[in-house]
Amino acid sequence: MRRENNGRGLFLLLAVLGINFEASLNAAGIPITKHQQSPNIILIMADDVGYECFGCYGSQQYKTPNIDRMARQGMRFEHCYSQPLCTPTRVKLMTGISNARNYSAFSVLNRDQKTIGHYFKDAGYSTAIVGKWQLFGAEHYPDKFREKGTMPLDAGFENACLWQVDLQGQRYRGPLMWIDDENKQFEKGTFGPDVATDYLIDFITSQKEKPFFAYYPMILPHSPFVPTPNSKKQTNKNQQQNFEDMVAYVDHLVGRIVDAVEDAGLGKNTLIIFTGDNGTHQRIKSTLNGRVIQGGKGLTTDAGMRVPMVAMWPETIPKGKVSTDLIDCSDFLPTLLEAARQKVPQHLDGRTFWPQLQGLPGTPRESFFCFYCPRPEKTPPVRFARDKTHKLYGDGRFYHVAMDPLEETRLPTDSLNDETRVIYEKLLKVLNSMPAEGQSLLKFPTP
C-alpha cells in the first residue's frame, strides 16, 4: 500500500514538472497502467457530410448505428465546425493553423508545413494515412498548381493508402490507389473505400511494438453519388438514395475499424475520433427534428460548416456525455498532442479540448475565426468570427446564427442592446487580431 501511495505521489509530481511519465515511472520501478501509456489514436474524417445526417444528432432518415454507438460509449460534440470546403479544412486540421497563415491554393499543402503526421512520427509513433489525399496537386490541375504541394510520405506518414495523390483516377469502382509510394489500379469490382479501410485495419492489427497514429480522411460520401456494396440496387441512379446509402457505408466502415481495435485488445488504450471536413453537398436534403436542411457545402453558413464529432476511449472518456463547447478544426492537433503527452507548440491557432474529453471543464474557446479563400487566384477571402450564437463578418454583416442559421436577417449594429453589443465587440476584437489577407499564391520555399 505504501508503494502504491508513493507511486501516486510521484505520478502527480511528474505531471506538475512536465517530466516524461513512462521513463520516470519505469526507472522508479512503478508499474505502468494502460491509462499511463501513450495511447493509440485514430482520427476519422468523412468527406462532405454535415451533423444532420447522423442518428446521434437526432436524424431518423440516416442509418448510423456504429457512430451512434460511439456517441453512447463516448462523447458527442454539438458545436464542431470545419472550413466550408475540403482542402481548406485538411490544411487547417493537419497543421493546427488558420488558413490565413498557411493556405495558398486548392489541392495544395505547402511543403514548409509541419503536419500532424510529423508531430506523431517525431514522438515515436508509427504513422499511417488512408483515404483521400488531394494535397499534392494531381495531374488534372492547372500547371501552376500541379505537383506544387506535399507528398504523403513527406508529411510524416510512414504508411499510406490514398486516392488522388499525383494521379486522379476513379475513387469508387475500379479505383486508382497510391499505396506506399506506388499507384495501383484495381478492377471494377473493387470499391475504393474498402481498399483504404482494409489497409488501415491491417496497419492497426500489426502494431505491437509502439503506439500508432492513424489519420483516415475518408473518400465517402463525396459525389458522385453511387450505390455502395451494401446498396439494394446496384444500378440505382437516385442521387438522394445513393447518398443515404453512402452515409450508411461510412458508418459500416467506422464500425469495422472500431471492431478491429476491440478485437486486437487495444480498445482501452485507443482514442477514436470521428468528424467531417465540411457540410453536405448542396444537392442533398435532410430532415432533422422536423426541419429540412439543404446541404451547404462551400457556404459559410451552419449547413456548410457544422459537422459531426464523436470521440470514444473506454474508461477515459465518460460515457454518453454531450458537450456544447465550441470546437474548431484547428483544435484537433493540440488536443491529440496533449492526449499523447506531447508538448503543444505555442504558434498553433488551435485550442486543446483534451480536458473536456476526460470529463473536466477545461478552458473552452469563446469564439473562433474563419478565413475562407479556397481559390485565392480567383476570389477574395471571406473572414468572420463567431461564437455559439452570433457571427460577425469582416464586411460588417452581423447575425444571430442560433436563431437564423441561414443568415437571412442582418442585425443592425447601430442599435444593439447592451448584451448583444458586448458579443459584437468581442467578435470584432477577434477579427482585428487576425490577418485581413492570406499569404501569396503558392508561397513556399523552392527546392
Q: Are 202 and 219 in contact (CB under 8 A)?
A: no
Q: What is the mean pLDDT of the chain?
A: 91
Q: Are 84 and 304 in contact (CB under 8 A)?
A: yes
Domain boundary among 326, 345, 366: 366
Q: What pLDDT does 208 receive?
A: 82
pLDDT tens for 184-214 read: 999 999 999 999 999 999 999 999 889 999 9
What is the Cα–Cα distance from 42 to 261, expressed in whole angstroms? 10
Are residues 375 and 258 part of one domain? Answer: no
Are residues 379 and 342 part of one domain? Answer: no
Evaluate whether residue 447 is within a structural domain: no
Prediction pTM value: 0.91
Residue span of the structural domain in which 221 resides:
39-366
Are residues 206 and 228 part of one domain? Answer: yes
What is the Cα–Cα distance from 278 to 199, expressed in whole angstroms? 25
Are residues 292 and 180 part of one domain? Answer: yes
Are residues 397 and 251 part of one domain? Answer: no
CATH number at residue 336: 3.40.720.10
Evaluate whether residue 442 is within a structural domain: no
Are residues 107 and 49 part of one domain? Answer: yes
What is the Cα–Cα distance from 144 to 123, expressed in whole angstroms? 35
Q: How many domains does the chain have?
A: 3
Are residues 245 and 217 part of one domain? Answer: yes
Evaluate whether residue 443 is within a structural domain: no
Q: Are 355 and 369 in contact (CB under 8 A)?
A: no
Are residues 44 and 8 part of one domain? Answer: no
Q: Report the chain's C-alpha Rg in angstroms.
A: 22
What is the Cα–Cα distance from 236 to 359, expressed in whole angstroms? 45
Are residues 308 and 285 part of one domain? Answer: yes
Domain boundary among 366, 393, 425: 366
pLDDT tens for 1-24 read: 333 344 444 434 444 444 444 444
Are residues 196 and 235 part of one domain? Answer: yes
Are residues 292 and 405 part of one domain? Answer: no
pLDDT tens for 161-177 read: 999 999 999 999 999 99
Q: Are 42 and 74 in contact (CB under 8 A)?
A: no
Percent of the chain with pLDDT over 70: 90
